[in-house]
Structure 1
């Protein structure tokens, strides 16, 4: 009987510390996108807002390839993993599973819905999100988790503290309880493709790290400021006018040349 109890206890310990169970509940994706990409204009709101609001287990490490270092990192991924191509939008699920292009990206939701967990695929290999040191992520990532956005800085913050802030309903209150200094700041709208951005209600800065969050729900997709849209409209209008003048000038010049070339009677 004691032997059976010992076996049961060992089985319990095995299940308790099983790697699969340790990973359960965290589904990590690497997302490469670009402001100005028409297909990303469709995928960005889905991946960075809709899915995050619907799947609490989702963790997304986003790299905007408009940034030169992020673009270089994308090339390194393509060099390291044969199934990765320098094309956006792209979701990297694993070494053997990569969603390239809008059609494939949106289909990843089925996998998220059906799977319990997925580790993050870094250049060094797969790492469970809860074991990541976000401060060591290369280039300039944005880390999206549920109702929060983490913008890692260059300073070295305790990785456990960052993960606890991610899990905390109110990061500011949590830092207050620990007596850690921080600065409340106005949340900035995070630009995405399609002339839109993602807006949060609250934000704080701790050293050079920024955390933005909502009390409830994922970041909200909003149109960029009207003034910005108006400027873009004016630029487009001026471009059309200049193009029209150039075409008109070309037509007039051809008429003049034809008139000069015509034989005199």
Structure 2
């Protein structure tokens, strides 16, 4: 088991993990967050949220300037001056939305760029100001699917022809460049780290977290609300823990399990 005295890195999803699925509060995790700061253990956010959403959250958490992974791994910020899309040659958000608009004549779906801030707020429970930040996207689009399962399979196939892929988050589907994802982004980020390698503990609750949880040394699968289970490919079961609690309570439970 890892210890707080080792060089560690905590990699965390936000919604439904560090943040409560309904209230977006992290109050139950305050004690652990303080411990991580006291031991100078980096906290790397790996989320479906946008960079515009993560930056003010980092400030509130006291980790301003730390690297983070946004938009399910389609965007990585190494430091305040360096932000990259993954893969590096992937299309920007405007181009991605244009490609999706060409498919809307054959499939019934709505993207975040089609909604207003008020509509996104009503769907997510975010304030209108925070909903506006969620719509400031750089590399991926969020979809509300309104068509059949059969049409969805065809839609997925067509996206592949455009070098795009789909991943399921806690609430919505996300269209991303092929070759991106939380696992790919985390492995790339770790390859850029200098100095002594850190033992990584990852925490997530949704199907889109599975690649990230497969890429860390120790994985905490937080009990979630998604109907789709979190399926990991790794076989080292002693390095995987499934929590009994949701959200930040489960987040603390996972760190308690591996670090105390």
Does the TM-score normalized on the shorter chain lie above 0.5? no
TM-score (norm 2): 0.26
Which structure has the larger Rg? 1
Flag the structure with more relative contact order, 1 or 2, with Cα contacts below 8 A and sequence separation at least 6: 2
TM-score normalized by structure 1?
0.26
Which structure features the higher share of helix residues? Answer: 1
